[in-house]
Structure 1
Amino acid sequence: MKKEDLQVAIIGGGAAGFFAAISAKTHRPEAKVTIYEKSDKLLSKVRISGGGRCNVTHHCFDIRELVKNYPRGERPLKKAFGMFSPTDTIEWFQKRGVELKTESDGRMFPTTDDSETIIDCLMQETRELGIGIKTKSNIKSLKRLEKGYELGFHRGGRIVANEVVVATGGSPRVSGFDWLRKLDHEIEEPVPSLFTFNMPNESIKELMGVVAEPVSVKIMGSKLQSSGPLLITHWGMSGPAILKLSAFGARELNEMDYRFTVLVNWTGERTEQEIREILKTIEYEHGKKKIASVNPFGLAGRLWEFLINKLELGDDMIWQNMGKKNINRMVHLLTNDEYQVEGKTTFKEEFVTCGGISLQGVDMKTMQSRKSPNLYFAGEVLDIDGVTGGFNFQAAWTTGYIAGMLK
């Protein structure tokens, strides 16, 4: 086979697919690289990410800390991030005229606050490199040949490629991986990963828009817990604390059928003893003031009022009349406030799953299949997922870049 005859097929026109294609053409300039996308839309997740701003990566450059944000893939990703890290992502876009900025929570966005900036950059790069793009090209089958693979399309027709990168993203059903299972790859069953908690019977929903920060949340009857900002919505609860909990508890919460009790510590990591001491000080210094007028933990006014009403203390209750029993009740409420969850909602429009191609069958130094030579994987098709904050895109850039090296 002549060098110029090398055919590389990239299956999937998302972030990982585009980065794999660009990497492949960069490392193998003589190859004919083509992206095959099943829909008529390219980079659709990039477009909607971060409310249309595209959360490109996260301002975390210590790989040991970075991998802690991946419920699935933490240990294998150490090798991968050593080859292409958030620093490399920032530099890659910067060299192509796209500057990124860091927000207070570590998320990184283009300075334009527009995801089209990222899309335009990736599209421009594919044009300059001469990468082919074919939309409405849904792959039905992938058959191993003596040299390469035969790709069959749902609409009919077949092509042959010497090297194939699968970057099709996650699938809500395990059947979505059947065509890859035929190549002897083990599939981890997909379940939703990033989602908000629905609380149809909880009155706290009336406080929609209120943010409490920081809080500590845990699932009753399990070891699942997380901390961070919590956002009250018209459905129930969201925000980083909840989303992180949903990611690390994805499989366990799925087994519970998304019906469980969440416990909220509205004071963050403070213990009951610490809170009791603070309340004693309030009793002593503000004894004649009404409970509602002294907010010792910096909670939003509406939330503090809601919690006081939950204790049914009365509008005229003053601190010096609380008594030991009511103080104990308040301490318990602040540290172990219970809410019933009955369902989930996709976080914004960003559908993320855990599950996919088992990492046992993939060489994370090359992203090449251990089962089938010259077959590579990148992005969410792998059993890798991160918490919200740019971590899933970083995994896409990293695995796409490495897969495209075609080692």
Structure 2
Amino acid sequence: MKNNFDVIVVGGGASGFFTAINIAENNPDLRIAILERGKEVLGKVKISGGGRCNVTHACFVPNVLTKFYPRGERELRGPFHTFCTGDVIEWFENNGVQLKTEEDGRMFPVSDSSQTIIDCFLNLAQENQIKVNTSCSVQAISQASDNWILETTQGTLSSENLVMATGSNPKIWEMLTEKGHQIVSPVPSLFTFNIKDNRIKDLMGISVPNVTLKVKETKLKSNGPLLITHWGMSGPAILRLSAWGARELFDKNYQFTLQVNFLHEEVFDDVLVQLNELKLEHAKKTVVKKSPFDLTTRLWEQLVLASEINADAKWADLTKKQLVNLTNQLTNAEFKVNGKSTFKDEFVTAGGIDLKEIDFKTMQSKLFKNLYFTGEIMNVDAITGGFNFQNAWTSGFIAAQAIANK
């Protein structure tokens, strides 16, 4: 193994490969190596999006796209103006991978297989003579004159340029801390809520198309589809709330009260009026039999029973108190959250290299020359839907341009 390189990329994931390939394509004379501590590269790409790889999201306006990033929104504005969703689509098409857009905006390869993305990267790495070393773990990082020296499990390597694309790797963060970089302590993002409550006990698999969620006694709020699971609640609305509330919910040890408006943004007074109208219109009908709202009958039944209304009660029988109770259950139902569960399709961490220490025009460290960061090693993370990959592509492209065009 030749030990001297022009560029070493540490991390054989999405941003690592994308960075290395773009460097090689822009400057074929550079000797480039990718170091991956695992036995295989692109492991997260393989399993992402249920094995289909959610490459990006069909959001083409940089200032809108940044709104999907709880951490990194301001810093990514410039980079997204340089390399955005349309550029990603064009890049993959130019390299033989057609993408398609699904109803919710997520974009996948037409093949519906993450292997298409993996094969694309492996073929391009080979074509561009990029050295890929697997089972190669970095043990120490130092500097000698103008070179970075890496002690690895496969010997000592040196390089003028060093790209860190290691994601949420505590060992690498520790090495960078020792050199003087600040790490924003990592906490989980994108998780589901553990809830034990009779109202949802036997409703696993039931979804509500659009709810509004709030964490009681905080400013945290989100909306979107909700999914009831055997352990509690999931779905886009929950995942979005977990991303924006990653630090605050961590501080609460994931013990808090969740307020659910099952009717999205319908307000108490308006719903109470609707229920009173239903009382007149359907006087002889049984309340639990059919939901007058966009809710499944089974969920409607549980909310009715939780409002102290008997299963055989007719609309005409409902008291003012029962109507108020039902309105509360529909617009402001409170659930005790006791812990979290990992969302299996994504593992995202809030935390990483402090963004104040990175030049987002080049992705270079402000503390060390020729040290670059791409992907999730930085304190950047997004909600689910292809946005974390978009950060990987954009940061990788910008770092590649800076290195290749010196």
TM interval, short-chain normalised: over 0.9
1:307 deviates by: 1.3
Q: Write the letter of the residue equivalent to 2:334.
A: E
Q: Which residue of the other structure, out of 274, 282, 286, is the alignment partner of 2:282?
A: 286
TM-score (norm 1): 0.95
Q: Which moved more, 1:178-187 or 1:255-264?
A: 178-187
Contact 2:287 2:314 in 1 (8 A): yes
- Going from structure 1 to structure 2, the CA distance change for 1:150 and 1:202 (only over 3 Å counts) comes to farther
Rounded to whole Å, the distance in 1 between the matches of 2:123 and 2:187 is 35
**Conserved? CA contact 1:10–1:164, under 8 Å:** yes
Give the Cα separation in 2 of the matches to 1:176 and 1:241.
33
Residue correspondence of structure 1 range 340-351 to structure 2 within 5 A: 340-351=336-347
In structure 2, give the amino acid aligned to 1:79.
G
1:260 paired residue number: 256
Aligned partner of 1:50 in structure 2 is 49
Shift of 1:349: 4.6
CA shift digits 1:235-278 (9 cap, x unpaired): 11111000000000000000001111111100001111221222
Cα distance in 1, alignment partners of residues 51 and 196 from structure 2: 28
Offset of residue 311 of structure 1: 2.0
In angstroms, what is the RMSD of aligned CA positions?
A: 1.4
Check if 1:352 corresponds to 2:373.
no
* C-alpha distance in 2 between matches for 1:358 and 1:212: 38
Question: Once the two structures are superposed, what CA deviation does each residue of 1:176-200 show, in whole Å capped at 9, x if it has no partner?
Answer: 5110112221110000011111124
Determine whether 1:208 maps to 2:233. no
- The Cα of 1:202 is off from its aligned counterpart by 5.2
User: C-alpha separation between the residues in 2 aligned to 1:280 and 1:294?
Assistant: 16
Q: Distance in 1 between matches of 2:308 and 2:334?
A: 16
Corresponding position of 1:105 = 104
Q: Is the 8 A contact 2:34 2:130 kept in 1?
A: yes
The residue type paired with residue 236 of structure 1 is G
Post-superposition Cα deviations, 1:78-112, rounded to whole Å, max 9, x if no partner, equal: 01111110111111111122111111111111111
| Aligned residue type for 1:191 | V
Change in 2 beyond 3 A, CA 1:302/1:201:
closer
For the 8 Å contact 2:5–2:33, the answer to whether it is kept is no
Which position in structure 2 is the counterpart of 1:166?
164
User: Which amino acid is 1:21 matched to?
Assistant: A
Q: How does 1:28-43 map to 2 (within 5 A)?
A: 28-43=27-42
- Deviating beyond 2 angstroms after TM superposition, the runs of 4 or more aligned structure 1 residues are 200-203
2:172 corresponds to 1:179: no
Segments of structure 2 that go 5 or more residues without pairing to the other structure are none
Query: In structure 1, what is the Cα distance between the partners aligned to 2:288 and 2:110?
Result: 42
> Match of 2:24?
25
| Structure 1 gap ranges (5+) | none
How far apart are the structure 2 equivalents of 1:100 and 1:305? 42
Partner of 2:155: 157
1:318 aligns to what? 314
Counterpart in the other structure of 2:78:
79
| CA–CA separation in structure 2 for the residues paired with 1:293 and 1:83 | 56
For the 8 Å contact 2:136–2:154, the answer to whether it is kept is no
Q: Distance in 1 between matches of 2:392 and 2:5?
A: 24
Does residue 231 in structure 1 map to residue 227 in structure 2? yes
Confirm or deny: 8 A CA contact 2:166 2:172 kept in the other structure.
Answer: no
Aligned pairs for 1:347-386 (under 5 A) are 347-386=343-382
Structure 2 residue 130 is the aligned partner of structure 1 residue 134: no
User: 1-side partners of 2:316 and 2:6: how far apart?
Assistant: 79
Q: CA deviation at 1:288?
A: 1.4
The Cα of 1:324 is off from its aligned counterpart by 1.5
* Residue 333 of structure 1, CA deviation: 0.9
1:276 aligns with 2:292: no
Aligned to 1:401: 397
